[in-house]
Amino acid sequence: MRKSIYAAGALSMLAALTFAAPAQAGGKDDGDRHHSDDALLSVLHGVPGLTVDVWVDGKLTLDNFEPGQLAGPLKLDDGSYKIAITGADATSADHPVIGPVKVHLKEGRNYTAVAHLDASGAPTATLFKNDTSASPKGEGKLTVRHVAAAPAVDVLAGDTAVIEDLKNPEQEVLTLKAGTVSAAVAAAGTTKPLIGPADIPVKKGKNTIVYAWGSLEKGTLDVAVQVVDSAKWRD
């Protein structure tokens, strides 16, 4: 049964992850800060077939967190936490699958932590800093993140590659006129879709983040979408 304190559970998932090197978006640091001193944190579970329990300082805070779920955004104080992640229905944090680890969260940033598969299919995780810098008036951002067990990919608009050779766990950020983009994901250098095509809305003053997750070999490729606010548009 899912715990009622969902925010605490999502925080514990973040801290329990063994982070790969952060994949940062472009842009100035000031543009990636929001107006609060809190950190904003979302968590995406992108490991197919793996349901987990998460423990914070030895206490169960998230029970049966399932693939494809996105938690947050959460407003969190900075600080250090000792976290462990176990298989579902564990009776304690004594035998973690990942951790225990101590993680310090920084204030004033917008992040998404993604539990996912690496290119070879092994469970891993990446912490992304979400680009909240301003876009020109009437435009928005489209961010594509490759967190699937799959080779490098191209992102296609029609038959044209608008993002090329994107590898796990990289991301690419585009600034586009607001509207609907029909996009597909194909193996790098090809035009046969592995995912899509799908209509993705690009919203004024927003960053629409698309995650390709799952496994190509096992036929579990899927897409998750997150939308975060950007700073006020520039004229």
Question: Which position has the higher pLDDT, 4 or 61?
Answer: 61
Q: Which residue stretches of 5-84 are H helix?
A: 6-16
Contact by Cβ (8 Å): 113, 41:
yes
Q: How far is CA 200 from the centre of its chain?
A: 17
**What is the mean predicted confidence (pLDDT) over 178-192?**
94
Give the Cα separation of 80 and 117 in Å (integer).
Answer: 26
Give the Cα separation of 145 and 127 in Å (integer).
Answer: 11
Q: How far is CA 78 from the centre of its chain?
A: 20
Residue 81: the pLDDT is 61
Contact by Cβ (8 Å): 44, 224:
yes
Q: Which of 7-11, 30-34, 47-51 has the lowest mean pLDDT?
A: 7-11
Contact by Cβ (8 Å): 55, 12:
yes
Q: Tell me, what DSSP letter sits at residue 106?
A: P
Q: How many CA atoms lie within 13 A of 125 on its CB side?
A: 18
160-175 confidence digits (pLDDT tens) = 999 999 999 999 999 9
Q: Tell me, what DSSP letter sits at residue 232?
A: P
Residue 33: the pLDDT is 61
Contact by Cβ (8 Å): 3, 9:
yes
Beta bridge partners of 199: 182
Q: Would the CA dihedral through 9, 12, 14, 19 be positive or negative?
A: negative
Give the Cα separation of 196 and 217 in Å (integer).
Answer: 17
Six-digit token string for 168:
């796990």
- pLDDT band of 146, cuts 50, 70, 90: very high
Give the Cα separation of 171 and 14 in Å (integer).
Answer: 19
